[in-house]
Structures are given as structure tokens and as C-alpha cells.
Amino acid sequence: YTDVDGVYTTDPRIVQKARRLPKISYEEMLEMASLGSKVLQTRSVELAMVHRVRLRVLSSFVAPDQMSPVRLEKLEDIGTIVTDEDEIVEQQVVSGIAYAKDEAKVTILKVADKPGVAARIFGPLADANINVDMIVQNVSSDGKSTDMTFTVQAAELSRTLDVLKAAEADIGHFDVQSSADVAKISVIGIGMRSHAGVAAEMFKALSQKGINIIAISTSEIKISVLIDAAYAELAVRTLHSMYGLDAA
């Protein structure tokens, strides 16, 4: 049970036309949980997926035994069922839009463009238990130095900079820039596995709103972009409408 009556296509506080999903796959729910959705904990979804246990997300404020007999006859239509994708008859290309404003961007400038440097950057961060998410390395223009951008949790930004400074002797001289004024917007859907053009549609929609993409990361069922935090809600609303997720 949670404080909402199911899993929605996005945060209803941002998009009033967000829809409750009757069913969602384990993989999609896992992505949503890891990307900021507070409906279910990531670990609970992982366990359910491993043991193939169906979950139902319901509101803690309206328990089934308090519902009318009419609604109880249609229990399948209440809340959201988290299950195997094979049980989902109608699969949308995109099931939801997630966002996270607790990200921070770190850019290392003029780092040596040679083998082993990336390991010397991210090794100490791993040793310090700092989780690095999106990583972008620019193409070197002179073959000698390059820039590298990555994201961490905003709460870990200060510690990240301290770790990098301590490792400068091994990494080599570099300049660093950082910002916590960024947001990660993610498009999630198992339909992406068999549908081309989802990323292109996303990038075009954002560009038409004047939203610049700082970094990109993808998986089989997810596309995430890093943008200026000021445009986070606009991006979510734009993508939600563009992918046909708005309630009628």
C-alpha cells in the first residue's frame, strides 16, 4: 500500500492528465523505482521479479474491504498490477515518464586523452562508494586532452569533488566544473525493444521547446537525458503528451 491508488504514467502533481496504469511489467517498474518513483522500493520489485510474484499497488487510504460491493467485483481494475510482461496484452511503446532533480553534474576539463585515465578517475569514486550515473566523454580535438562529464547524486557532490582532488596526482592536472542545477528525465517502456525512433522523437520534442540536452544514457527499455533543472517540469509535460500518455 502507498499514498496513491496505483502507478501512474508520471507524477500527477506535474501532469494533471497522468493516467493510472492497470498493469506494468517488473522491468518497467524497476526502472521507475530506480529513477525516482517513490511508489515501490527497488528491492521489493527485484524480489518480486526473481520469484515471479505479482504485486498490486493500492492506496493505503482506501483498503479493499472498505470499498463498495460493486468495486470489489472489479478488483482487477483497482490499483496497478506489477507482473511479467507476457501478461500485459496491450503494450504501449512508452509506459511512463520519470524525473529526478537530485542529480549533480561534474565536468573534468583538459584531462589527458590516453588509456587508463578513465579508470584513475572512476576507480577512487567507486572506492568511496560514490555511484556514478551518466558518463559522456568528448572527442579529443588535438589528441592530447579531452573533457569528461558524469553525474552523481547531488548529496554526494561535495564528497565527489574531494575525492577527485585527492586523486589528482594519479589522474594528472585537470580543471573541474560542477552544478547541481540539473535534472534527469527518463522515458520508460518495454515497447522500445521492438519500436525504432523513440529517442529521435524525444530529442525533437525537447528541441522544439528550446530544451538543451547535456548528456544521454540508454538501456533496452529506457532513455534518459540530463537537462537544466529549470526545464524539468516542461520536459515531463511535453514528453507525456507527445507519447500519447495524457488521459482523455
Domains plus CATH for the chain? 7-87 (3.40.1160.10), 106-175 (3.30.70.260)
Predicted confidence band at 25 (pLDDT cuts at 50, 70, 90)?
Answer: very high
In this prediction, residue 147 carries a pLDDT of: 93
Predicted confidence band at 138 (pLDDT cuts at 50, 70, 90)?
Answer: confident
In this prediction, residue 1 carries a pLDDT of: 46
DSSP code of residue 96: E
Cα–Cα distance measured from residue 160 to residue 128, given in angstroms and rounded to the nearest whole number: 9
Average pLDDT over every residue of 210-239: 96
DSSP code of residue 75: G
Average pLDDT over every residue of 190-205: 93
SS3 8: strand
What burial letters (b/e) apply to 17-47, b meaning 16+ CB within 10 Å? ebbbbebbbbbbbbbbbebbbebbeeeebee
In this prediction, residue 6 carries a pLDDT of: 85
Q: What percent of the chain is predicted at pLDDT more than 90?
A: 60
This prediction has a pTM of: 0.86
Q: What is the mean pLDDT of the chain?
A: 88
Average pLDDT over every residue of 177-194: 94
Predicted confidence band at 72 (pLDDT cuts at 50, 70, 90)?
Answer: very low
SS3 27: helix
Taking 80 as the threshold, does the pLDDT of residue 76 lie above it? no
How would you class 139 by CB atoms within 10 Å of its CB: exposed for 0-12, middle for 13-18, buried for 19 or more?
exposed
More confident residue, 66 or 35: 35
Taking 90 as the threshold, does the pLDDT of residue 5 lie above it? no
Q: Which of 1-10, 34-43, 116-125 has the highest mean pLDDT?
A: 116-125
User: Could you give the count of Cα atoms lying within 13 Å of 220 in the half-sphere of its Cβ?
Assistant: 6
DSSP code of residue 206: H
Taking 90 as the threshold, does the pLDDT of residue 35 lie above it? no
